[in-house]
Amino acid sequence: MFRGVSCCFVVSAFFLLFALNIAAQTNLTSLAQALAGGETEAKRAALFDIRNLRSAEASRIALPALQDKAEIVRATAAGSVIFLAKNEAAQALLPLLADKSEMVRREAAYALGEMGDASAATALITLLQKDKIIEVKGAAAVALGMIGDPSAVETLVKVLQTSPNDDNEFLRRAAARSIGQIAEPAPDKTFFKTTVPLLIKTLQNSKEADDTRREAAYALGAIGDVSAIGVLEESAKSEDPYLAESSKTALVRIRKQ
């Protein structure tokens, strides 16, 4: 009797998996049809659904949308192809960094960062250096931190060497954080020691946005240079509780090394 019940369970499971597979294929087909002939909002909805499926098979359906005539569709598609193999996704996304739409360039940069593929680092560095739009430059800076390629540090440092203002606040914050993200996993921190004086200056500068100063504290902790202890001890007393906490965390990290 037990054997009979077990056999029935296996058969039922097989048919359930078969039905789920058919349903998934049907869903992918309907999403592909929406992208091929739908209105702009229908295409965007389909692209969101594709992203939520988090599979290479679904992401491949989104590839044609990267060439859509509507910039909002191209921008949305950028985040929907990231579950392809890294080399395939990078090959599809890199041309979008030269798109005429700043929205598309920005979203392509974020998507490349989310993928974390080092092959995109050079193109993102160029974008950060040469793009005219501050939001696009900010996206490139964020992406470079997520990728973690040390070749980006020199360009990120140049961002912090400029004067802070309301327009470049996000860009400077992203640059400081990305330096920390790149330094954090590095087994040898020697390469990053030249950035420490600039990060200390950023942390001490009262004209900097609070978020930028917090990220500078984070980066100093990630680098772990003892020369930053004094300034971090001072900022740990800040009336800004978030800056104080970031500085205390950085101090703990440095002292553990």
More confident residue, 36 or 198: 198
pLDDT tens-place string over residues 52-94? 999 999 999 999 999 999 999 999 999 999 999 999 999 999 9
115 part of a folded domain: no
Q: Are 40 and 73 in contact (CB under 8 A)?
A: yes
The pTM score is: 0.88
User: What gap in Å lies between CA 163 and CA 123, rounded to an integer?
Assistant: 25
Domain that holds residue 177: 149-257
**pLDDT at position 6, please?**
55
Two tokens, residue 221 = 């902790």
Q: pLDDT at residue 198 above 50? A: yes
40 part of a folded domain: no
Q: Is 10 exposed, middle or buried (0-12, 13-18, 19+ CB in 10 A)?
A: exposed
C-alpha pair distances (Å), 35 with each of 41, 85, 124: 10, 21, 28
Q: pLDDT at residue 11 above 80? A: no
Q: Calculate ∠ Cα 126-128-133, nearest 5°.
A: 120
Would you place residue 257 in the very low, low, confident or very high pLDDT band (cuts 50, 70, 90)? confident
209 part of a folded domain: yes
Would you place residue 199 in the very low, low, confident or very high pLDDT band (cuts 50, 70, 90)? very high
- The three-state secondary structure class of 51 is helix
158 part of a folded domain: yes
Instruction: List the alpha helices (DSSP H) in the chain.
Output: 2-37, 40-53, 56-62, 71-78, 86-93, 102-115, 121-130, 134-147, 153-160, 169-183, 196-204, 210-223, 229-235, 241-256
Number of independent structural domains in the chain = 1
211 part of a folded domain: yes
**pLDDT at position 144, please?**
98
CATH, residue 181? 1.25.10.10
pLDDT tens-place string over residues 93-123? 999 999 999 999 999 999 999 999 999 999 9
Would you place residue 27 in the very low, low, confident or very high pLDDT band (cuts 50, 70, 90)? confident
Q: What is the DSSP string of 54-123?
A: --HHHHHHHGGGGG-SSHHHHHHHHTTSTTS-HHHHHHHHGGGGG-S-HHHHHHHHHHHHHHT-GGGHHH
61 part of a folded domain: no
31 part of a folded domain: no
User: What gap in Å lies between CA 132 and CA 136, rounded to an integer?
Assistant: 8
130 part of a folded domain: no
